[in-house]
Amino acid sequence: MDGLNCPANLLIVSDLDFTMVDHDDPENLALLRFNALWEAYYRHNSLLVYSTGRSFTFYKELRKQKPLLTPDITITSVGTEITYGESMVPDERWKQCLDHNWNRETVMEETAKFPELTLQSERDQGPHKVSFHLEKGNASKVMEAISKCLEKRGLDVKIIYSFGIALDILPQAAGKGQALEYLLEKLTAGGLRPLNTLVCGDSGNDAELFTVPEVYGVLVSNAQEELVKWYAENARGNAQIIHATERCAAGIMQAIVNFSLGPNVSPRDISDSMFKRKNLSPGHEVVMFYLFYERWRRGEVQNSEQYIQMLRSIFHPTGKFLHPSGADQPMHQSIDTLVSLFGDKRGVDFHVWVDRVSSAETSLGSWLVNFDKWESSGEICIVI
């Protein structure tokens, strides 16, 4: 948020598991489509927020497993932890807000009286979050009893049930919705409230996101039963909340066009997109170049000298690729190297994506563009 000097055009707040990330999509195709869309059109003037039930530790593990972009803000442990930027600097004021009428030790004492509860792993817990497994058939009765017990002990808590198995006990001030309201208030105080906000979810712990005033919302098509029920009872007929017909990240892109929030066609959905140029930004150029690079190495485009000549015509003769090590190489030399790599990844689960694309005009028509480039071959991911 510190890098913003004007309101974001779009703030996307998305859950991760089975919302942004489709664990039933082994090639992560929808996620890669969203990545290309975001870096090409939105990174420079919008904000990406991940809001997940995962603990900080489990969130970092997911980042190693899936091609997730670096968010501007991360909300973990069902809205009880907020961090900023790549270095994930914690919001200490938010922690202080959650201390009111909260005592973790008391929660542990009272919940120990319920044999129906099975404590989740230590890595699922947090200073302001106690998590259990609870069978669906017992959920309503147990949740009501716990609430009464903790109220008698003087605690003001929130109990959230998700996925038909997971029960989280949080301070009343916590939750994904409250964390988002806190962020919006913080941005507003700095004169940076986003022009539009889109929230995205699939399970019960996402329901609060859709209650934040003035936001657009999308339930992905694969949303869990408890969220679909909430939608039917509370939001059906609300034009600002839709139940998408597409799964996960594809559903998010569907919502972008449904609410007219900006471009929603990913460069990955355009054949030969490297050469379909129309007033493109430097970030868009980078996205399209590496998409062509991926397709070239997978042998999915024609091995044509015409393509190579078109690449040479696109990039200025004096353009250079500067490696983080400090070594530089003329872009035309890099293009010459590309010729020999045609089809070397044919039949391999090979994908390329860029992250954190930023640019600055150094002189008229000349740009310095910084980004992380990732390559994956099967389960191996490397950043260059």
Q: What is the pTM of this model?
A: 0.91
Residue 162 lies in a domain: yes
Residue 145 lies in a domain: yes
Please give the pLDDT value at position 382. Answer: 59
Q: Give the count of domains, the chain.
A: 3
Of the CA atoms within 13 Å of residue 274, those in its CB half-sphere come to: 20
Does residue 140 sit in the same domain as residue 222?
A: no
Return the CATH number at 148. Answer: 3.90.1070.10
Does residue 359 sit in the same domain as residue 278?
A: yes
Does residue 32 sit in the same domain as residue 180?
A: yes
Q: Which of 111, 142, 171 represents a domain boundary (last residue)?
A: 171
Return the CATH number at 243. Answer: 3.40.50.1000
Does residue 286 sit in the same domain as residue 333?
A: yes
What are 247-273's pLDDT values in tens digits? 999 999 999 999 999 999 999 998 765
Does residue 186 sit in the same domain as residue 71?
A: yes
Does residue 68 sit in the same domain as residue 180?
A: yes
Q: Which residues are within 8 A (CB) of 11 and not within 5 positions of it... i.e. 6 or more apart?
A: 46, 47, 49, 194, 196, 197, 198
Does residue 190 sit in the same domain as residue 161?
A: no
Does residue 86 sit in the same domain as residue 190?
A: yes
Residue 263 lies in a domain: no
Does residue 126 sit in the same domain as residue 183?
A: no
Does residue 361 sit in the same domain as residue 307?
A: yes
Q: Which of 171, 191, 226 represents a domain boundary (last residue)?
A: 171
Does residue 81 sit in the same domain as residue 187?
A: yes
Q: Which of 231, 258, 285 represents a domain boundary (last residue)?
A: 258
pLDDT tens sequence for the chain (384 residues): 555 678 999 999 999 999 999 999 999 999 999 999 999 999 999 999 999 999 999 999 999 999 999 999 999 999 999 999 999 999 999 999 999 889 999 999 999 999 999 999 999 999 999 999 999 999 999 999 999 999 999 999 999 999 899 999 999 999 999 999 999 999 999 999 999 999 999 999 999 999 999 999 999 999 999 999 999 999 988 999 999 999 999 999 999 999 999 999 999 998 765 555 555 688 898 999 999 999 999 999 999 888 888 888 878 788 888 877 778 888 888 888 899 999 999 999 999 999 999 999 888 878 889 999 999 987 556 555
What are 19-31's pLDDT values in tens digits? 999 999 999 999 9
Residue 265 lies in a domain: no
Residue 196 lies in a domain: yes
Does residue 335 sit in the same domain as residue 191?
A: no
Please give the pLDDT value at position 277. Answer: 55
Residue 96 lies in a domain: no
Return the CATH number at 279. Answer: 3.10.450.50
Please give the pLDDT value at position 74. Answer: 98
- For residue 159, what are the domain limits? 101-171
Residue 349 lies in a domain: yes
Residue 231 lies in a domain: yes
